[in-house]
Amino acid sequence: MALAQQNSSYWVGVNEKFALNVGLNVDLYANRAWGKSTLDNTLKASYAYQNNQTQGLRKTADFFDWYTKFGHSLNEKKTLSLAAIFNIRSQFTNGYDYALTPRRRVSGFFAPANILLTLGLDWKPNKHFSLFFSPFAGKWIVVSNDPYSYSTTPPPPGQRPLAALYGVDPVKKVDAQIGAFASANFNKELVKNVTYTSRLDLYSNYKHNPQNIDMFWTNSFGFKVNKWLTMSYLLNLAYDDDLIPEGRTSPTMQFLGTFGVGVSGKF
């Protein structure tokens, strides 16, 4: 959790008399192995708000990602497994585009949500790296708000429904896809007390522009200060060919970086 508070009066280079930043990062792992089977669970989340004198209260980070992989070894060395993956990624509360007047709601809880379920082969040559591949993976983009979900009632002229921002039919609320999926995982202590965890997911939608690959890449850096105090940096990158943000004419790379100081422990 990170907390920063600022007060100033005629300080050169500072134009806010009051600013408060509050954020929370969560990076949890729960892994188990028995016999030829393994179960790996990861939960990453980030949530932050900023409050200053001129802009008021605004959300600056909102994200959660739950990733579960169950595997059953196919060989004696346990380097190749038949595995199933379930992944869900969304945000907690409404997000707004403050550049528009009135402000435009552009996201919410399960608006959108990315849900993935697949069965495939998982290759793990060592304890630090694994590579999963499936030629047939089910993916669902869900926008659970009201089918038309405009920022105001009646909507401003020319405003697209919220679901349309994510390539989803506003009435159906769900875009069901089938495609190829690959996931590469890496986890290692780079130097003493510095760990790096990374997951890169790639998805090709067979039903629409399969040559355009959707990407989600999450990276966590952990810096151990002592037995219980840690510093962390979480960097997420995402690209979806169906997502065209309001005011743009083409898809764009998404970026979210958060820094935190907190506690760590093993159970």
**pLDDT value, residue 9:** 42
Domain-located, residue 11: no
**pLDDT value, residue 11:** 44
Q: Given strand 80-90, what is the order of strands in its sheet?
A: 2-7, 18-34, 37-52, 56-73, 80-90, 113-123, 129-142, 174-191, 194-205, 214-224, 229-239, 254-263
Q: What are the backbone angles phi and psi of residue 145, rounded to the nearest 5°?
A: -65, 175
Domain-located, residue 155: yes
CATH number at residue 192: 2.40.160
Length of the chain: 267
207, exposed or middle or buried, with CB in 10 Å at 0-12, 13-18, 19+?
exposed
Model pLDDT for residues 154-167, shown as the tens digit of each residue: 777 777 788 888 88
Domain-located, residue 255: yes
Place of tokens 């929370």: 24
**pLDDT value, residue 16:** 52
- Considering the chain, what is the average pLDDT of its residues? 84
Domain-located, residue 10: no
Domain-located, residue 35: yes
Domain-located, residue 6: no
Per the structure, the complete domain to which residue 95 belongs is given by: 25-263
Tokens of 4: 């920063």
pTM for this entry: 0.85
**pLDDT value, residue 42:** 94
Domain-located, residue 18: no
* Separation of alpha carbons 240 and 214, rounded Å: 5
Model pLDDT for residues 114-138, shown as the tens digit of each residue: 999 999 999 999 999 999 999 999 9
Q: How many domains does the chain have?
A: 1
Domain-located, residue 248: yes
Number of helical H runs and strand E runs in the chain: 0, 14
